[in-house]
Chains A and B, each alone.
Chain A
Amino acid sequence: MTIRKQVLLLLLFLLFIMEGTIVPWILPSSWQNVLMPNLVFIVLLFVSIYHNRHTALVLGIIFGMLHDVVFYGEMIGPFSLVMGFSTYIMGFIFRVRRAPMPLMMTVVILGSLLFDSMLYAIYRLFSLTQVTYDWNLLHHILPNLVLHFVFGLIIYVPLRKQLEKIASRERKEKAA
């Protein structure tokens, strides 16, 4: 059981690496400055819904911090705060056992919106960006949303199966 969890961690790290290295090459050149896919965040949303929102919170803070430190441009903290907070909130609002697919996709959409909007709000607060929210919504957040949605659809079946296995084993262990 613990092995499966470690594999999940390793996969998350691999996904984080891919985000910065392979994804920019897959995207067409003209989209490279438009899209900012955060694939780790989408996986964490799944963890938050199908496994445990507290685990998702901790993982969000850790991977957000990793992102902040590795791509240290302006400051440390925004990704960590936003990833932890929005995965936790999504898991808190949608406390449904065995959530069906449409619900999960709604979570992906809302979570993605919350994530990008909060990130924008933080940058605006520290006046690191001057564009308006409308412009940002149209040029970054919505294109991102589509990409996140597609990624969510792709990983839905395999990820849910694995996460539910982890959850059911934990329940059995608790019962025993």
Chain B
Amino acid sequence: MLKLFKLLGNKRLFVILIALVMFIALMGFTLGPRASLSWPEKFMRDTVGFVQNIFYKPAGYVAGLFKDIGNMREIYEENENLKIALAQYTREKATYNFIEEENKKLQEALKFTEAQMQKYNYSYHIAQVISVNSDPVNQSLVIDLGERDGVKVGQSVISVKGMVGVVSHVSNFTSTVKLITSMDAKDPNSNGIAATSMDNHQTFGIVESYDEASKMLLMNQIKEDDPIKKGDMIVSLGDTDKYPRGLIIGKVKSVEESKFGKTRTAMIQPEAEFQDWKLLFVVFTPEAPK
């Protein structure tokens, strides 16, 4: 140790140690939940976001063009499948309209308050991805909606296919989305998603962590007599005010006995593809009256 002191010179070592302590303090301070960002941070994010916006879209178009040429053959087949899906959709739309109308009448008959009726009336705002973080542990995206557009911390973000993540920090014109692949039961900042199956609402579990090695989400606390089975589509339950109802999370790949017995754990293959980011939707829940 003495030799090391001589090698570095006492003053330099001192400065390094102080810097190290400062950095660890900074990390510890910013790790917890923060109400809002300070103005230098906001300014930096918006300026960089503006420049990133100029680059990301054209790059996406060029890359997309090459991919489209590669995918030309698959388009015919895809078109066929879409036609079938559309026919199914039109049929179901008719039934849906009947049920919704009936539901509204029943709600009025039961004297639902305005807040109760509007509870599940979500709106989806389209957002353009403007850059992608290059760090797989702390995965995040930057989107071009910010405080000005009414985005708030904690809102869910979905892609066309399924749930992607949660807005983690907001500045005036951009916001950061923390992906659900960085979800972790041990992390105090990440909230588990109460989830159920799309076809069978008896199912209940909490999606709260992501296994990086197998690229699967883990759904815990499933009861032993739960009807969950392989291939079920898992959606968010929306009982808490953290997550809206009915966001698609993924398909069940396997169900296993949990480590401690008594409950089971399901491995869920996320529906959203965490690559080639383009358009996302921010889910706005109706304002709760105060």
Contacts and interface: CB of A to CB of B under 8 A. Distances in A.
B136 A73 contact: no
Interface stretch (B115-123, B155-163, B181-189): B181-189
Nearest to B7: A92
Main secondary structure of the interface of B (DSSP, over half): mixed
Given A24-B277, A25-B62, A119-B137, A74 B189 contact: yes
A172 to B, nearest CB: 28
B132 A128 contact: no
Interface string B180-217: 01101011010000000000000000000100110000
Contacts, number: 139
A110 interface: no
B202 to A, nearest CB: 31
A132 B48 CA distance: 34
A21 B30 contact: no
A20 B142 contact: yes
A133 to B, nearest CB: 12
A48 to B, nearest CB: 16
Interface in A105-129: 119-120, 122-123, 126-129
What range describes how many residues of A lie at the interface?
Answer: 35 or more
B140 A72 contact: yes
Interface in B131-166: 131-140, 142
Interface in A9-51: 17-26, 29-30, 32-38
Given A72-B140, A72-B169, A77 B27 contact: yes
Interface of A: 17-26, 29-30, 32-38, 66, 69-81, 119-120, 122-123, 126-131, 135, 140
Interface of B: 20, 23-24, 26-28, 30-31, 37, 41, 44-45, 48-49, 51-52, 55-56, 59-60, 62-63, 130-140, 142, 168-169, 176, 178, 181-182, 184, 186-187, 189, 209, 212-213, 273-277
Given A119-B135, A123-B138, 11 more contacts: A20-B52, A24-B134, A33-B181, A34-B136, A70-B48, A70-B142, A72-B168, A72-B169, A73-B133, A78-B138, A128-B184
